Structure formats: structure tokens, C-alpha cells
Amino acid sequence: MKGAIYAIAASILLGSAVAGSLHDRRHAHEVFHHLRRQDTVAPENVTCGCTTSYSTWYGEATLIPPNTIYATVPVTVSPEAATSSSSSAAYTPPVPISTSTAAAYTPPAPVSTSTAAAYAPPAPTSTAVYYTPSVAEYYQASSSSAAAPPASSSASSSSSSASITSGSQWCMSYSPYLANGKCNLDSASIASDIASIAAKGFSCVRIYSTDCSGLQNVGAAAKVNGLKLVLGIYINDAGISVAAEQVGAITSWAAGDYSDVEMVVVGNEAIFSGFCSASDLANFIASTKSTLQKAGYSGPVTTTEPIDILQIKANAAALCDVVDVVAANIHPYFNPNTVAADAGTFVASTLEELATVCPGNKAVYNLETGWPNGGSPNGVAVPGTSEQEAAITSIQQKAGSKSVFFSFTDDLWKEPGPLGVEQNWGCSQIFGDS
């Protein structure tokens, strides 16, 4: 029975190949029905010899067909059977090929670095209004060449006086959520976390939105520990109009005092996620900057995307005039040709490419980077605790003063994702036990 099913499937594939693309399911479906409508009655007094070719595939489904072994079974149809209108020859399914003779399955080659597979972030599982997005996106490889990170003092914003450096580790990302996805409103536990970030040698902490009292709890703890804030205005599928409420939340919280704010990031991969267009995002950034400046803020305002999104000319044309610094989220793990030990080289070379996106010699920053401590391999990029340490150390040495390390702890409130890595980016332990 299995052989018969695959014989029919082979006919479908053959028909679809004749009709056009194998990926056009509608056409293949029509061809299948067209074949069934063909007149199958043989002319009178004609004997035909038919050969049925079939193959049996074993193993899991794959887009890359394995080597096929064919077997032929002769079928003879007599003239009497062919011309009879009252009966038809009984169909005898071919004998399946023994598994001992089946060709060994060869797995498909690693994903090409020239293709970015879009992955939509999973829906939030918390009661929070906004959430830290998934990082399981496949970025195009920016460069395979080794390059040192841009000197922190060599590039400065044409519209902002910000110069952001801190030796080999600048910033750590932080999300005020519990493992069950609910808001962590325990100011004491948050204060302990932020104190730990400061003790590990960081000079700032990045938050993604204004929900879960993040401005109040994280902001207060940052001030006590001498840390600056990279504030986020998160855009999700609700659109820019809803995100605009967060601008008001920031101005109300700051009350004119922005001395602890190092940068404001409007959107996190909002274009990549399809939440808004580049032109709409540019207008929102300009509006946000105007509102913040009127409220007393004079620091840099930007957005962040995967670099390949920023390298699209139309996107760069829309965004370059309104951002004060150019920022991208750079994740070496999602380049299937990058091993953990080369993560820093990948980040540094990507930052050099990022510096060419906008004119005006604007400063560039890596606003999200790291390596998973668990999950499945992505080509030669293998997750694990030792691999994470090697990758983080490499990034720290070659681009740490321009990077936000992701993230303080594992995000157990997320779904595991297709590679099983979404929850496993906590890396603060690598920077010491404090």
C-alpha cells in the first residue's frame, strides 16, 4: 500500500514538473485531476506492455529528495480486459523495496548565507503590554572577513554629542519579566539584578519598553548603581499609534531630568517584523525626537534592525536623516558559517559594514548580541555553555565597547522557537559571580 501511495505521489510530481514550478501547488493539483480524466480504455485488439516505476523513501520528510532506487514490475493487459466495460483488471500493488537496499539519506547542505529566512516572533505569553522580542531570526551574513571593531572615538553623530564607550563591555539587556511571563514588580529583586550588572563592569542597561514599571524600577536601581539607561519604545503588531503612548510615559517619568538616559531606541526590528514601513518608522522617530527634545532630552535617538534591512537603499534613505546614531542587532549564531570562537570577528566586521549605511560619519552600535547556551546547531554555529563563553569572550574583546550583551538571564517565559534557543541567551554569569 505504501508503494502504491508513493507511485501516485510520483505521478503528481511528474505532472507538476510538466505544468511548471514544483512549488505551485494549485497547478500540481489541477494536473493530478487532469490525469484522472484521461481516457484509459485501450483500442480494440491491442496488447500493451506497461512498466510501473516506483520508489519508497524512508526517514523524515525533507525538501531535498534522497537518492532514488527504482524497481520495475511488468504488467500485461489483455485485449479482453482492456475492452470490457463491465469489469476491470484487479490492481496489484508493487512489492516494496527492502530497507536493506535503500540509499543512505544525505542531509541537506547548511543554509546559504545569502538567504534570510523570515521568522515571526512568538506571541507574548505575559500580561505585559510589550515584550522583549524573539531573536530567532536568520540574518544574512554581512562579511566573512576579519576586521577590528571601529574605534569608539573615531565616529561621532552629526546631530548628537554622544560618545558611548566603556572599555570592553558597554551594556547589558534586561527584561522585567518572570519565568511565567508576568511582570516582575518586585523592586527589591530588580534592584539586586541591576546592582549585579553594575558590579560586573557594565556602564549601562538596555530595556525594550516602558511596561511592567520598568522605567520606575529599573531606572531607580540604575541611578543608585551609577548606570545609564538605553530606553526602548517598543513597536508591535498593534502599530505605531499604540507605541506612541510610550513616549508620553518616558517624558512623565523623567520629569525633565534625562541625566541617566544614554540613548532612546524607537522600535526593535519593527521593519523586519512587518510592524511598520521604513517611512512610517522614520516619521515616528522624528516625532519622538521632537517631543523628547521639547521635554529636555538632548541625547541620541535611533532605531535598530538586522543590518540587511538597513542596507536596503529605500530603508536607508528613509531612516538615515532622522537617526542620530546607526544601530543594528548583530547575532553571529544566526550565521550558519560562524563558529563560536569567531563571533567577535563577525560582529566587528558587521559594525564596519554598518558604518557605510548612512552618510555623515555617524557612530554605529550593536544593540543586541550574544550566543545561546542551549538548543540546536545552526550549521557550524553550535549552542552550549562552553560555546557561549567562547563567543561572548570573543565579542567582548573585539566589539564589547559598542555592544549590548543579550541578555542578563535566560528568558524562560518565551517559547523555545524552531531551533530551541529562544529561552537560552542568559550570559551574565560569564562576566563574573557578582
Question: What confidence tens digit (pLDDT) does each residue in 42-52 have?
Answer: 444 444 455 55
What is the H or E stretch that residue 14 is in?
A: helix 2-19
Question: How sure is the predictor about 433, in pLDDT bands with cuts at 50, 70 and 90?
Answer: confident
Q: For position 49, what pLDDT does the model report? A: 54
Q: For position 13, what pLDDT does the model report? A: 36
Please tell me which residue, 238 or 15, carries the higher pLDDT value. 238
d(CA 76, CA 70): 19
For residues 276, 279, 280, 284, the Cα torsion angle rounded to the nearest 10 degrees is 120
pLDDT in tens, 372-404: 999 999 999 999 999 999 999 999 999 999 999
Q: Supply φ then ψ for residue 183, to 5 degrees.
A: -65, 135
Mean pLDDT along residues 269-275 = 97
What is the H or E stretch that residue 261 is in?
A: strand 261-268
> Does pLDDT of 361 surpass 70?
yes
Yes or no: say if 136 and 168 are a contact pair by the CB < 8 Å rule: no
Mean pLDDT along residues 86-104 = 41
Question: How sure is the predictor about 163, in pLDDT bands with cuts at 50, 70 and 90?
Answer: very low
Mean pLDDT over the full length of the chain: 75
As annotated, the active-site residues are 269, 368
Percent of the chain with pLDDT over 90: 61
The upper half-sphere exposure of residue 58, i.e. CA atoms within 13 Å in the direction of its Cβ, equals 11
Give every CB contact of residue 319 below 8 A, 6+ residues apart in sequence.
Answer: 278, 281, 282, 285, 303, 310, 358
Which pTM was predicted? 0.66
Is beta strand 261-268 parallel, antiparallel or unpaired with respect to 228-233?
Answer: parallel
Mean pLDDT along residues 132-149 = 38
Question: Cα separations (Å) of 245 from 251, 256, 279?
Answer: 10, 17, 20
DSSP character for 427?
-
Nearest to 248 by CA among 215, 283, 224, 217: 215
Q: Could you tell me how many helices (H) and strands (E) the chain has, helices first? A: 11, 10
Cell of 346: 563577525
Q: For position 168, what pLDDT does the model report? A: 84
Question: Cα separations (Å) of 152 from 260, 301, 330, 362, 412?
Answer: 20, 18, 17, 11, 34
What DSSP assignment string belongs to 192-245? HHHHHHHHTT-SEEE-S-S-TTHHHHHHHHHHHTT-EEEEEE---TT-HHHHHH
Mean pLDDT along residues 409-425 = 96
Question: Cα separations (Å) of 67 from 2, 64, 70, 104, 168?
Answer: 18, 10, 10, 8, 51
Q: For position 32, what pLDDT does the model report? A: 27
At position 165, the amino acid (one-letter code) is: T
Give every CB contact of residue 428 below 8 A, 6+ residues apart in sequence.
Answer: 172, 196, 197, 200, 408, 409
d(CA 325, CA 361): 9
N-to-C CA span, the chain = 64
Lowest mean pLDDT among 95-104, 290-299, 388-397: 95-104
